[in-house]
Structure 1
Amino acid sequence: MAGVRDPEATKARIFEAATAEFAAFGIAGARIDRIAREARANKQLIYAYFGNKAELFSQVLEKRLIELAAANPVDAEDPEGWIDRLMEYHAAHPELIRLVFWEGLEYGTGGIPHEAERRRHYEGKVAAFAEAQAKGVIDDRIPPADLLFMMIALASWPTVQPQMRRIIVGERDEDVERLRASVRTAAHRITSGTGG
C-alpha cells in the first residue's frame, strides 16, 4: 500500500547512511542532513528515533560491534584462528575500526555513552581468556584483560593504518597475506609464552 511507513526499514537505511557518514567524518564532522538525504529519511525523524547526533553515533557503533561479536565470537582456546578471523572481518568492514577510532578521538580518556554495557561485553571476552589460561590452554603470564587488548590491537592496526601498512609492508596480495601470517605468529607467541 502506497504511503505506508516501515519504521524498521527506515531505521536500517539510517544506520547504513550513518555508518558511512560517521566513518568518513567522525562525530563532529558528520552531518544529519547528509545522513537524511542518503537514507531517504526525514531529518526530524532521525532526531525522533535517536535524540541527537552523538546518540545516533553511539547506537550505530554498538550495532556494528554486536555484528562483529556475532560474526566472530572470541575463541581464547584458538587465539591464532580467532585473530585471523578478526583481521579478515576488519578488512571486509573497515568502517567499524574507523568508527572505533573516531570514538576515541571524540571522547579521549573520558567516559563514552553506554560504557557500562560495553564494559560488560568485553568482560565476557576477558573471562574467556582467563578460563583458557586457567585450563592451561594459553600462557597465563599476561593478565587476560591485557592479552585481549593486545590481540585486538594486533588485529586492527593494519586496518587503522592502511597507509603505513602499504609503506612498510607493501600492498601486493602476498604482502598482506605475509603480514596476516606474521600477526598469527605474534598471537601464538603471546598466548603460548614462546616470545623469547
Structure 2
Amino acid sequence: MAAVRDPEATKARIFEAATAEFAAYGIAGARIDRIAREACANKQLIYAYFGNKAELFSQVLERRLVELAAAHPVDAEDVDGWIDRIMDYHAANPELIRLVFWEGLEYGTGGFPHEAERRRHYAGKAAAFAEAQEKGIIDSTIPAGDLLFMLTALASWPTVQPHMQRILVGETDEDRARLRASVRTAARRIAGLDRPES
C-alpha cells in the first residue's frame, strides 16, 4: 500500500530544516540538497512549493517574524515587560535574529523580497509606540519608528553577539541578569520613562 502524502507535514519539515540551514549558512551558503535531506523531502518538491532558495528564505523569515509578533506583540505601555519577553524569545529562538542578520548581509540597503509586507508589519509595531507617545505614556522626542528600531536592537544584541557579551559582561547567571536590568534601564531612558538624576 502506497504511503499517503501529507503536503502540510512536508512543508512543515521543510520550514524547520530550512530555518536551521539558513540560520547556519545564510542565503548564499545554504544548500537545498541539505534542506531536502534533513526534511526527508524531494529537492524538486522544495522548488515546486517555494520556487527558489531566496523565496524559501524569505518565507521562512516572514513566518518566524509573524510567530514572534503573535507570541509577543509590542506593548509600548509596558516597555520593561516587552523588553524581557523579546530577550527571552531571542534567547530561546536564536535562529530568528540570525536569519534577520543574514538577510541584512545579503540585501544590504537594497530592496528585498516581500518588503512591502514587512513594512506593513513593522508599521503596526511602530504605531503602538506612536499611540503611547500621543497618550503621553512615553516621550515623543524620538520618532516612533526610530524608537522601535533602537529598542529592538537593544533587546536582540545579546543573542547576536554572545561572544562579546561573555567578554564584556561576563558569563554567569548574575552577569546575564545584570545585563538584562541594564537593557531595561537603557530602554526606559530612551523611551523617556526614566530620567537620570542630574
Q: Show the counterpart of 2:6.
A: 6
Runs of 4+ in 1 over 4 A off after TM superposition: none
Displacement, 1:189?
A: 1.1
| TM-score calculated relative to the size of structure 1 | 0.98
3-state SS of 1:142 partner: coil
- Aligned counterparts of 2:112 and 2:162: Cα–Cα separation in 1: 26
Q: Show the counterpart of 1:61.
A: 61
Runs (5+) with no aligned partner, structure 2: none
Q: Show the counterpart of 2:172.
A: 172
Q: What value does the CA root-mean-square deviation take over the aligned residues?
A: 1.0
| Aligned residue-pair number | 196
- Aligned counterparts of 2:73 and 2:150: Cα–Cα separation in 1: 17
Runs (5+) with no aligned partner, structure 1: none
| 1:26-46, Cα deviation, whole Å (9 max, x unpaired) | 000000000000000000000
Q: Show the counterpart of 2:108.
A: 108
Displacement, 1:190?
A: 1.2
Displacement, 1:3?
A: 1.1
Contact 1:21 1:31 in 2 (8 A): yes
| TM-score calculated relative to the size of structure 2 | 0.97
Q: Given residue 86 of structure 1, which amino acid in structure 2 is its aligned partner?
A: I
- Aligned counterparts of 1:24 and 1:8: Cα–Cα separation in 2: 24
- Aligned counterparts of 1:134 and 1:44: Cα–Cα separation in 2: 52
| 1:147-184, Cα deviation, whole Å (9 max, x unpaired) | 00000000011101111001100111111111111101
- Aligned counterparts of 2:2 and 2:191: Cα–Cα separation in 1: 58
Q: Given residue 7 of structure 1, which amino acid in structure 2 is its aligned partner?
A: P
Displacement, 1:192?
A: 2.2
- Aligned counterparts of 2:184 and 2:84: Cα–Cα separation in 1: 7
Q: Show the counterpart of 2:181.
A: 181
Q: Show the counterpart of 1:45.
A: 45
- Aligned counterparts of 1:2 and 1:151: Cα–Cα separation in 2: 53
- Aligned counterparts of 2:162 and 2:112: Cα–Cα separation in 1: 26
Q: Given residue 187 of structure 2, which amino acid in structure 1 is its aligned partner?
A: A
- Aligned counterparts of 1:7 and 1:135: Cα–Cα separation in 2: 47
Displacement, 1:2?
A: 4.4
Q: Show the counterpart of 2:136.
A: 136
- Aligned counterparts of 2:49 and 2:97: Cα–Cα separation in 1: 25
3-state SS of 1:192 partner: coil
Displacement, 1:21?
A: 0.3
Contact 1:61 1:99 in 2 (8 A): yes
